[in-house]
A and B are shown apart, each in its own frame.
Chain A
Amino acid sequence: MATTLEDLLQTRTRATIEALLMASLQEATIEGTTERFPVTDWAPGSFERTTLKMIATGLVDREDVIPMLTAGGFLGLAQSITDAEGNLVEGWMELLAARNYALDRIEAVFAIQLLTLTCTAGPGPYTRAAGEIVAFSPSTGNRYRNVSSVTIPDSGSVTAQFKAESPGLGYNDAAGSIIAMVTPMPGVSVINAPTPAGVPANFITGTGTIAVTSTAISTSLRTVKLTFTASGRIDDGSAKMTCTVYTGAGTTVTGPSTVNATFTQGDLALALADGTAGTQSFNAGDEWIVGVPGTPLLQAGAEKEPLDSLAARCSNRWPALADVPTVGRFESWVMDCSRSSSLGITKVKSSPSLTVAGIEDILIAGATATATPAQVAAVQGHLDVRLSQIEGAAVAAAEARPITMSGQVKCKRGTTSAVQAASDLAWERYLALLPIGGSDPGGLVILAELEQCLMDAGAYNVSGLTLNGISGDVALTKVQCATIASNGTPMLALTWQEVS
């Protein structure tokens, strides 16, 4: 009788089963005698020995199931179950999550980019149905199709959403890199350009409006939230609001102050307007949230959820049983929101606010990019409706810390492209698993991981590797997430050389 988990997790081979049968037969007595089986006389190839081998071989099939059945009940073990050939069997972890924890694995997410299509004077206008325009990035080869029907005016431009052709990390192309079309239209150019501010998340229940008027592209990454604290209008000075600015370094709240027709926060300029006379322009509790600067990446692409991440979500179901929010419960809510809305948020870090009593600061990020304003707004909204009126959570994008690299890589002739592609993906996967604040201890992005990605991908030799200009590990602060400036092709920053 097995008495330890470790024992049950061991797969017994045919030889082991055969040896156990032989040992048992050696101890057994022939009925009605004190005589033992003469197993030591059973020569290889003999009838008795061969029969025993056949029986042992038949029993091995059952034997293989035992470690799977056992490990399949534990989060820490189910995520690494392999079959007889050593291949990961993902179904066990998915089954455990679905049946015991009522959690489905998060599917891979398609990146969605905001593309600007501009037509010169003369050849336009063009109208194309959904999916008919295919734009791509020359640097990565990634292709995107328009989500809905688009009309490009003659001598004008239009912005439209384009969805990646496949899901995954590799489709988070950098701003300004999608500049070509597979389906060219004379006189039309395309670009995924950054904008002064992102698409606002608007929870305005009054008749008023808010518009971004600044035109410069800010270098100060932040999320700005206007919260109306007193209902009213601009023209009679009755409406009041607070301004909350979330940066990776913390949260700043100003106000409440009277709402005016113009409002500036750093280099962000806004125009606020009343609704129809006699109506309430803004109601207390209304919110308006925008990310600065605006990124054309409306939805970051993400890989299918890693099994260890799924296991962590399952484990966080326990703290989520609490009547009051705990760290685990906040994290569960964020990931639930990400799953249900296909947000692509994969990283969460929660800590109590040091500036506002009773508030939990929650930083979020995607796999290799920080969260977009739309993602921040979606998560904030998800939490707001789950917290009581005396609790609070402030969601912000983790501070992006772009990781750049340099160094020399040698590959055997004809293998460079394959090595680049494999190491690109491996590096992106490494960064995707790196939590906000980096790996413990020390919050590091580890240089040796880069070398391993390259060598595992088939590089012949590497030398002079650096991360962010230093030949060592990069330390993230507690609020930073590692990001890639050139999604899809980070390895192009290295110097590549082929050798015979």
Chain B
Amino acid sequence: MSGPFENWMSGPGFGPNWMHGPVGTAYWKVVGAMIDQQTSRMKAGMRARFPLEAAELGMSDALEELGKDRKLPRGGTYPGAEDQSDANYGLRLHGAWDAWAKGGTPLGLLRELSDLGFPTGATGTMIANHIGMAYTLDGSSNLVISKPFSACVNRTDLTEQVPSVKLHGFTLDARDWFYSHFAILFLQDIPTLDNSTGNPAKSILNAVVKRWRCGGAIYNGASVVPSGSKVWGWPTTMKWGDTGLKWGANGARFIDPE
């Protein structure tokens, strides 16, 4: 499609008649097209600043830059896949205002992990904190809060005594009153996530937690607990001394915090 400069410079309104004619018209048409192309590049450069515009232009690398600015890396179907479509990534960056408003909350952290390819749902990613609250996302990315953990035999109340009706929790610190700890449980296997140094999924997990955790909250690390395996405190039916318990069996593994 012809641009405005191409049309103008190849038309009679541009310059004296001797500049036109069969040769001149074609000549100035090419020059006008070059100016139009420059203008298009300027417009594209400006539009690239805006996530939805960059997505519409198919400028994947502009989206990556905007993602760095907004601390929202491209998501994917599994941690490290980075295969989120430009359209979806553009929408996510456009929604940074709302996403970051949830920063520091379980909802914000879980949604970011979900966007980056960590599983959701009842058997997906669970945040477990020291005082026994568990947070997951349902299929619509809504927060589900529960208290599934068993009673602790040694958890003290505010009088520093173990009450007769035992308190429920997820012990993450020898100091029972140190409420500000939390951990993450993945209740299904994540094949790409292991505890080796430099594991990309581990790096993504720890970076997300660092950016999205609440100030003052201490992250203790994550446990991957595939179906049938067990870790300390999960499943909640497991008790100390049960037969057949073996650390690390059936793919259960711990992922260190950074």
A500 to B178, CA, bound (A): 68
Asked if residues B215 and A1 are in contact (CB atoms below 8 Å), the reply is no
| Chain A-chain B contacts (Cβ-Cβ < 8 Å), number | 175
Is residue A29 within 8 Å, beta carbon to beta carbon, of the partner chain? yes
Say yes or no: A5-B48 contact (C-beta < 8 A), given A31-B25, A324-B214, A391-B215: yes
A74 to B69, CA, bound (A): 7
> Considering the chains assembled together, what is the distance between the CA atoms of A37 and B22 in angstroms?
11
Is B77 in contact with chain A by the CB < 8 A criterion? no
List the B side residues contacting A315 at CB < 8 Å.
68-71
Which of chain A's residues 1-16 have a Cβ closer than 8 Å to chain B? Answer: 1-6, 8
Which of A17, A32, A69, A393 has its CB near the most chain B CB atoms (within 10 A)? A69
Contact of A319 among B29, B35, B100 (CB under 8 A): B100
Complex interface residues of chain A between 281 and 331 (CB less than 8 A to chain B): 314-315, 318-330
**Shortest CB distance A269–B (Å):** 33
Q: Does B44 contact A (CB under 8 A)?
A: yes
In the complex the two chains form, what is the Cα distance from A158 to B212 in whole Å? 51
B236 at the interface (CB under 8 A from A): no
Which of A4, A73, A319, A330 is within 8 Å of B49, CB to CB? A73
CA distance A329 to B216 in the complex (A): 12
Among the 9-residue stretches B53-61, B136-144, B153-161, the one with 4 or more Cβ atoms under 8 Å from chain A is: B53-61
B25 in contact with A70 (CB, 8 Å): no
Chain A residues, Cβ within 8 Å of B178: 357
Tell me whether B81 is interfacial, beta carbon within 8 Å. no
Taking CB atoms, residues of chain A closer than 8 Å to B218 are: 352, 354
> In the assembled complex, how far is the CB of residue A149 from the closest CB belonging to chain B, in whole angstroms?
45
- A3 partner residues in chain B, CB cutoff 8 A: 57-59
Interface centre among B25, B46, B102, B103 (most CB of A within 10 A): B103
List chain B residues, Cβ under 8 A from A77.
65
Q: Are A319 and B45 in contact (CB under 8 A)?
A: no
A interface size (C-beta, 8 A): 59
Interface string of B8-38 (1 = CB under 8 A from A): 0000000000000111011101110111011
With known contacts A318-B100, A357-B177, A360-B215, A328–B35 Cβ distance under 8 A: no
Residues of A within 8 A of B211 (CB): 319, 326-328
Tell me the residues in window 318-369 of chain A with beta carbons closer than 8 Å to chain B beta carbons: 318-330, 350, 352-354, 357-360
With A8-B48, A24-B30, A31-B25: A2-B40 Cβ-Cβ less than 8 Å: yes
A353: chain B residues at CB < 8 Å are: 216
Which A residues touch B62, using CB under 8 A? 4-5, 74
A413 at the interface (CB under 8 A from B): no
Chain B residues positioned under 8 Å from A322 (CB to CB): 100-105, 108
Asked if A20 CB lies within 8 Å of chain B CBs, one says: yes
* Distance between B180 CB and nearest chain A CB, rounded to angstroms: 4
**Assembly CA distance A4 to B59 (angstroms):** 5
* A30 lies within 8 A of B35 (CB): no
A59 interface residue (CB < 8 Å to B): yes
Smallest Cβ distance from A405 to chain B, in angstroms?
31
Known contacts: A321-B103, A322-B100. The answer to whether A69 contacts B59 by CB under 8 A is no
Quick check: B30 and A326 within 8 Å, CB to CB?
no
Contact residues in B for A393 (Cβ distance below 8 Å): 215-216
A75 interface residue per 8 A CB criterion: yes
Q: Cβ of A8: which chain B residues have Cβ within 8 Å of it? A: 41, 44-45, 48
Quick one: which of A412-433 are within 8 Å of B by CB?
A: none
B210 touches A55 (CB 8 A): no
User: Of A60-68, A240-248, A454-462, which binds chain B?
Assistant: A60-68
| Chain A minimum-CB-distance residue to B103 | A322
Determine whether the beta carbon of B180 is less than 8 Å from that of A66: no
Chain A residues with Cβ below 8 Å from B44 are 1-2, 8, 70
User: Of B42, B48, B215, which one neighbours A324 at CB under 8 angstroms?
Assistant: B215
Is A402 positioned at the interface, with any CB of B under 8 Å from its CB? no
Complex CA distance for A451 and B211, rounded to whole angstroms: 35
Taking the complex as formed, is A494 at the interface, i.e. its CB lies under 8 A from any CB of chain B?
Answer: no
B71: nearest residue on chain A (CB-CB)? A318
| Chain B residues within an 8 Å CB radius of A138 | none
Q: In the complex, are the beta carbons of A323 and B70 less than 8 A apart?
A: no
A358 to B34, CA, bound (A): 61
Of the residues A17, A76, A323, contact of B104 by C-beta under 8 Å? A323
Please determine whether A28 and B38 come into contact, CB atoms closer than 8 angstroms: no
B216/A358 in contact, CB under 8 A: yes
Q: A62-B35, A69-B46 are known contacts; what are 9 more A-B pairs with Cβ within 8 Å?
A: A1-B37, A6-B61, A76-B68, A318-B69, A322-B108, A326-B104, A330-B215, A358-B179, A393-B216
Nearest 8 pairs between A and B by C-beta? A73-B49, A322-B103, A70-B45, A324-B104, A325-B215, A31-B22, A360-B215, A321-B100
Can you list 17 pairs linking A and B with CB atoms under 8 Å apart?
A3-B59, A4-B61, A8-B45, A20-B34, A29-B26, A31-B22, A31-B26, A37-B27, A62-B42, A315-B68, A321-B97, A323-B103, A324-B215, A327-B211, A327-B215, A328-B211, A357-B178
